[in-house]
Amino acid sequence: MKRILAVMGTALSLCAGANASAADIKIGEINSYSGLPAFTEPYKKGWEMAVDEINAAGGIHGNKLVVISKDDGGKPGDAITAANELVSKDGVVMISGSFFSNIGLAVSSFAQQKKIFYLAGEPLTDAMTWSKGNDYTFRLRPSNYVQAAMLATEAAKLPAKRWATIAPNYEYGQSAVAVFKELLKKARPDVEFVAEQWPPQGKIDAGSVAQAIEAAKPEAILNVTFGADLVKLVREGTTRGLFKDRSVVSFLTGEPEYLDPLKGDTPTGWIVTGYPWDKVTIAEHKAFLDAYQKRYNDYPRLGSVVGYTLIKSAAAILNKAKSTDTDALIAAAKGISVDSPFGPITYRAADHQSTLGAFVGKTALVDGKGTMVDFKYESGADFLPSEADAAKMRP
For residue 225, give the amino acid letter: T
Q: What value does the mean pLDDT of the chain take? A: 94
For residue 191, give the amino acid letter: V
**Cβ neighbours for 244, distance < 8 A, ≥ 6 positions apart:** none
Per-residue model confidence as pLDDT tens digits over 301-329: 999 999 999 999 999 999 999 999 999 99
Cα angle value 323/331/326 (rounded, 5°)? 50
Rg of the chain over CA atoms, in angstroms?
Answer: 21
* Domains of the chain (ranges, CATH numbers): 25-142+281-356 (3.40.50.2300), 145-280+359-382 (3.40.50.2300)
CA separation for the pair 97, 294 (Å, rounded): 25
Per-residue model confidence as pLDDT tens digits over 272-295: 999 999 999 999 999 999 999 999
With H, G, I as helix, E, B as strand and everything else as coil, classify residue 29: strand
Per-residue model confidence as pLDDT tens digits over 222-248: 999 999 999 999 999 999 999 999 999
The pLDDT of 208-219, averaged and rounded, is: 98
DSSP 355: -
> What's the count of helices (H) and strands (E) in the chain, helices before strands?
12, 14
DSSP 14: T
| pLDDT at position 9 | 33
Confidence band for 17, pLDDT divided at 50, 70 and 90: very low
CA separation for the pair 139, 154 (Å, rounded): 25
Cα angle value 179/125/283 (rounded, 5°)? 95
Q: Which of 261, 274, 259 is nearest to 305 (CA)?
A: 274
| pLDDT at position 187 | 98
Q: Is 1's pLDDT higher than 90?
A: no
Per-residue model confidence as pLDDT tens digits over 35-63: 999 999 999 999 999 999 999 999 999 99
